[in-house]
Amino acid sequence: MLYPAIKSYVDQLVADMGDISDERKKTLSQLSDYITQRYREGATPSVTVICTHNSRRSHMGQLWLAIGAEYYSLPAIETYSGGTEATAFNPRAVAAFERIGLNIDIDGGSEANPHYRIRWSDDMTSYVAYSKKYGDPPNPQQDYAAVMVCTSADAGCPIVFGSSVRVSIPYEDPKAYDDTDLEGAMYDERAQQIGTEMLYVMSEVKAALGE
């Protein structure tokens, strides 16, 4: 069961899903169709969310897909994130999720690339989030959906090796507002936008499965 603060936040995002444009919904449906197909095959869907540095938007996408699966009481889903290079899960993005209500602690890794243990429920095994290349373990090597959330990674990866389907869902990088008065607000806005759209994906899966 989601922590009450997160449940309340997610309820509001779900209420805002009607604001997603029809064009955007068509793109998001490519991902929901893949996840639905894997469930119907009796398989556990795997999704890797990819951005250049694996520091902000890719982590947001990974986490929101997993939260969405729990919110809609769907079967297990494996969500991952990666980049075309490894840097670090940016602390500004971490702080945005803490403001939403996730429980986040540093647990291992290096000073330059710490590992974060993340929880949104008492009934879950902690997610471990840190920056890595998209093909690095523990990320899947084959039979996964590659979700490209930044245009530079999309252009820089003409082939995402091992992926079964590739979906381009770009988002504006909140990095542009680092160290400005708008920093917190823009990270919150991006977390909200990605959350709304990934929840829409999982809501479509729920409807398709008739659960």
If one compares 47 and 152, the residue with the highest pLDDT of the two is: 47
Contact 160, 180 (CB under 8 A): no
Q: Which one, of 95, 59, 78, lies nearest residue 178 by Cα?
A: 95
155 CA to centre of own chain? 20
Amino acid at residue number 47:
V
Residue 153 reports pLDDT greater than 70: no
If one compares 109 and 12, the residue with the highest pLDDT of the two is: 12
Residue 159 reports pLDDT greater than 70: no
pLDDT band at 156 (very low <50, low <70, confident <90, very high): low
The confidence score (pLDDT) of residue 48 equals 97
What digits encode the pLDDT tens for the residues 78-124? 999 999 899 999 999 999 999 999 999 999 989 999 999 999 999 99
Percent of the chain clearing pLDDT 70 (strictly above): 96
Largest Cα–Cα distance of the chain, in whole Å?
48
Contact 130, 117 (CB under 8 A): no
Residue 175 reports pLDDT greater than 90: yes
What the block records as the tokens of 43 is 């398989």
Give the sheet arrangement for strand 103-109, strand by strand. Answer: 103-109, 114-119, 127-129
CA distances from 126 to 30, 45, 102 (A): 28, 19, 11
CA distance 30 to 93: 26
pTM of the model: 0.95
Please return the burial class of 181, using the count of CB atoms within 10 Å of its CB with bins 0-12, 13-18 and 19+.
Answer: exposed
The confidence score (pLDDT) of residue 155 equals 62
The confidence score (pLDDT) of residue 157 equals 61
Q: Spell out the domain ranges in the chain.
A: 4-209
| CATH superfamily label, 4-209 | Response regulator (3.40.50.2300)
The confidence score (pLDDT) of residue 49 equals 97
